[in-house]
Amino acid sequence: MDNAVALVRAYLQLNGYFTITEYPVVRKTGGGNFRTLTEIDVAALHLPNGEPDFEPDPALKVPRDQADMIIGEVKEGRAMINEAATDPDVIAKILRRFGCSSAADGHKLGRALLAGGAIDTPAGHRVRLVAFGTAPSNEPGPYLTVLLSDVVAYVDRYITQNWELVRTAGSRDPIFGVMVLLAKARLTHL
């Protein structure tokens, strides 16, 4: 897995999201063959009312009272949505697969999501496009942008504010685990 994608996955999980990374979107072609249209770097679902003990990062603008689905692209460069992910058919397939839309509504909702960056679906989900990167895009879109420097700062704050929990619980997530290890190493020299 790409390191930047792994960082965003850890960040979203700390914010109460269930995540799937590098998710392939496939289309059936003639003759029973299949073709990969794109891979979505991260798809994440946050259930209503979240985790009562931890407040999500305000930068994510997580709605409290409805399910929140993020379709995210992660770049080690300018934060932007891949061209392949701006295909309404791709978005419609993702909305259907994750229970955010019926087949009949998928294309209409996909076009609305691409135009506005966020939609509320008839299923009651908030669905948003989010671009993560090391720099803002030269041509910002209608989607939310979160810089990787802000992601790292949030994870560092989370570790500091929840040190006893983090120190005791540990982590099997490779990126979060390394960040915890670095915090432990810094604290042993103070």
Which run of H or E residues covers position 71?
A: strand 68-74
What pLDDT, on the 0 to 100 scale, is given for residue 50? 67
What pLDDT, on the 0 to 100 scale, is given for residue 155? 94
Q: Is 46 left (phi over 0), alpha (psi -120 to 50) or beta?
A: beta
pTM of the model: 0.91
Strand, helix or coil for residue 32: helix
Measured CA to CA, the distance from residue 36 to residue 38 in angstroms comes to: 6
**CB atoms near residue 152 (< 10 Å):** 14
Summarize pLDDT for 75-130 with one digit per residue, the tens: 999 999 988 888 888 999 999 988 888 888 999 999 999 999 999 999 889 999 99
> Exposed, middle or buried, 121 (CB in 10 Å: 0-12/13-18/19+)?
buried
Measured CA to CA, the distance from residue 4 to residue 172 in angstroms comes to: 17
For the chain, domain boundaries: 3-148
